[in-house]
Amino acid sequence: MAGIEVVFHVAALPSVPRSLKDPWASHAANVNATMRLLEACVEAKVARVVYSSSSSVYGDTPVLPKTESVEPLPRSPYAASKLAGEQYVLAFARGGLIEGVALRYFNVFGPRQSPHSAYAAVIPKFFQAALDGRQAVLYGDGHQTRDFTYVDNVVDANLLAASAPGPRASGWPVNVGAGARTSLLGLIGLIGSVAGHHVDFVHQPPRSGDVRDSLASLDRAERILGYKPRISLEAGLRRTWTWMADGSRTVARGRAPAALRQTA
């Protein structure tokens, strides 16, 4: 890592349902590995770490929009592990060991997301159902809301977090979202519009650990990073559909280096 100025810590073991089945795996990947990375960054004199956190840290706090001052109430081991990871990054920053910014992502979507995993995100799953001509599975009543954020907006936020002046940005969590919420029923309607045909769906019981509503306050992101989302939900869905409809495309895959996969 010699000579590296900024590290973007995006690696994680995602998924709320998976963490409920195997909480130790979430802890090892999202907390222990983060500590090892921070130690390596300090030793290599890296200037700044930009950490990918999650809006799941807020849990079901009723306040909308979610501001960074809202008390985190994680509802799953995954959410708890992301909160722990971001707190270590911010503690290292506040302790003067390294500059650190924690970006709390809200429901990121876009090309290269796999729809095939049991833990896949809702947008690629709904699009795959549209492609296959089968029913989409909707957990709960469909009136729960999410702040869906296109991946290009997230990339913008990361680059801004890497270059924002240290005294203004370092040591803080920052929301990264679209600043608008959409119900899952509304999302299915949008996906049908983008795909050019109605997408039928079937209800299943709500999943443990899922939050009811989510909406990002972007005040801090705009103030200290200059972040404003460029790509709307509908525009992002159209780009994602174009990618998914091309059967030759491959999904994103990755594996952390062995040193970061070790458990404590």
Catalytic site residues? 78
Task: Find, among 69, 29, 20, 22, the residue nearest to 52 by Cα.
Answer: 29
Task: Find, among 178, 183, 186, the residue nearest to 148 by Cα.
Answer: 178
Is 58 exposed, middle or buried (CB count within 10 Å of its CB: 0-12, 13-18, 19+)? buried
Residues 6+ apart with CB under 8 A from 145: 181, 182, 183, 184, 212, 213, 214, 215
CB burial of 105-129 (b: ≥16 within 10 Å; e: otherwise) equals bbbbbbbebebeeeebbbbbbbbbb
User: Are 137 and 202 contacting, i.e. CB atoms less than 8 angstroms apart?
Assistant: yes
